[in-house]
Amino acid sequence: MVSLLKRRYVRTKPYPEKKVRIVEEASDLLRKYKYIFVIDIHGVSNRVLKEYRLKLRRTGSTMKHIKNTLFRLALAKTFGKVPEDVERVLTGENIFIFTNMNPIEMIKWIEENAVRREARPGDKAPYEIVIPAGDTGLSPGPVLSKFGKLRVPTRVQGGKIWVVKDTVVAKPGDTISPELAEILQKLKIRPIFESLKVKSIILEGRRAIPSEELLRTYEEMKTSIPEAVRQAMNLAVNAELPIPEVVPLLIQKAHIYAMNLAANAGIVTPETARAVIGKAIAQAYALASVLAQKAPELGIQAPTVTAPTAAPAAEAKPVEEKKEEEKKEEEKKEGPSEEDIAAGLAGLFG
């Protein structure tokens, strides 16, 4: 029986000093930083990488271009092995960001620090692109026909091409044509924002989380945080926690409780007088209404507030009569007068 065994390559020669130094440096970075962002740099310009590298230094993070094979050696040296999910990520053209920043915050930072670049044929316009009026600094020549093709009004003045008025050459989502890309480059207009493409995040060398999963979590957090804040505030107010965010609400709550207690207890103060008197009048009306129904022999007439009725449209009444009726209706809306209230109370309580 013949068994076919897979041959495994075993290096016999020592690694070059330069590669050993790169592995040692990567291993030190793996010990220093908790998170490693694996960035796909296929098609990314050096200028974009350079700007990101400079900005990352301000966050205490660092960006390193390390070959996948050397990065595997650094992982094995630091953590003893390379997990399978991490192994699957280390393919293609990559650059690595070493950081201690929260991964979701880092993704947000990468998006917010997108770098402007020149438009290329086939790019999608991210917003309305406008060629402004004025001197372009370009000399007349074949380029004039390209301005004409884009329907940009121009004139030649002082040996230079001038744009007559601000002209929209692309709307959001439009595909950038080769002619437009060339004109924008000549005018030094950089309409495209390019950000780094995060493939995965390696957590302390143990596992890799795809960027799609992390972004989905980020979107869920954005929608759930406001609800969590609302519930936390509600809990804090009910638990009466004396913290700066809750104290103003607790004072309002205590004020409302105090006003209700004083009004129900009949304590008359400048703040509660209106509520106490209003409650007394309401109770007097209610008592008068009950007595008028239960003991009609007492002759108690409970004061009532009736809604005004509209006069028939066909009837025409004198102006003075209308004014008197409007006055009566206003009195009915305002409720009984003080004399009526006094008379009602006197009738009830002798």
Q: State pLDDT tens for residues 144-203.
A: 888 988 999 999 988 999 999 999 999 999 999 999 999 999 999 998 888 898 999 998
The answer on 71 and 25 residing in a single domain is yes
> How many domains does the chain fold into?
4
Looking at the chain, list the stretches that DSSP marks H as alpha helix, in order from N- to C-terminal side: 17-32, 46-57, 68-79, 84-89, 103-112, 143-149, 178-186, 211-239, 247-265, 273-294, 319-334, 338-349
pLDDT at residue number 313: 38
The answer on 270 and 259 residing in a single domain is no
The answer on 200 and 249 residing in a single domain is no
Range of the domain at 250: 230-263
Does residue 9 belong to any structural domain of this protein?
no
Q: pLDDT tens-digit profile of 104-160?
A: 889 889 988 988 888 889 989 988 999 999 999 989 888 888 898 899 999 998 899
- Taking CA atoms, 336 is separated from 146, 274, 302, 324, in Å, by 84, 16, 11, 17
* Residues 63 and 46: beta-carbon distance below 8 Å: no
pLDDT at residue number 206: 83
Does residue 252 belong to any structural domain of this protein?
yes
The answer on 61 and 107 residing in a single domain is yes
The answer on 337 and 258 residing in a single domain is no
Q: What is the mean pLDDT of residues 311-336?
A: 45
Residue ending a domain, choose from 172, 191, 210: 191
Say what the alpha-carbon torsion angle 110, 124, 190, 59 is, to the nearest 10 degrees.
Answer: 0
The answer on 180 and 75 residing in a single domain is no
The answer on 154 and 81 residing in a single domain is no
Does residue 87 belong to any structural domain of this protein?
yes
Whether the predicted pLDDT of 281 surpasses 80: yes
The answer on 203 and 107 residing in a single domain is yes
CATH code for position 99:
3.30.70.1730
User: Which residues 6+ apart lie within 8 Å of 14 measured at CB?
Assistant: none
The answer on 58 and 199 residing in a single domain is yes
pLDDT at residue number 97: 94
The answer on 275 and 300 residing in a single domain is yes
The answer on 217 and 181 residing in a single domain is no
Whether the predicted pLDDT of 303 surpasses 50: yes
The answer on 236 and 213 residing in a single domain is no
The candidate with the shortest Cα–Cα distance to 111, out of 38, 215, 36, 209, is 215
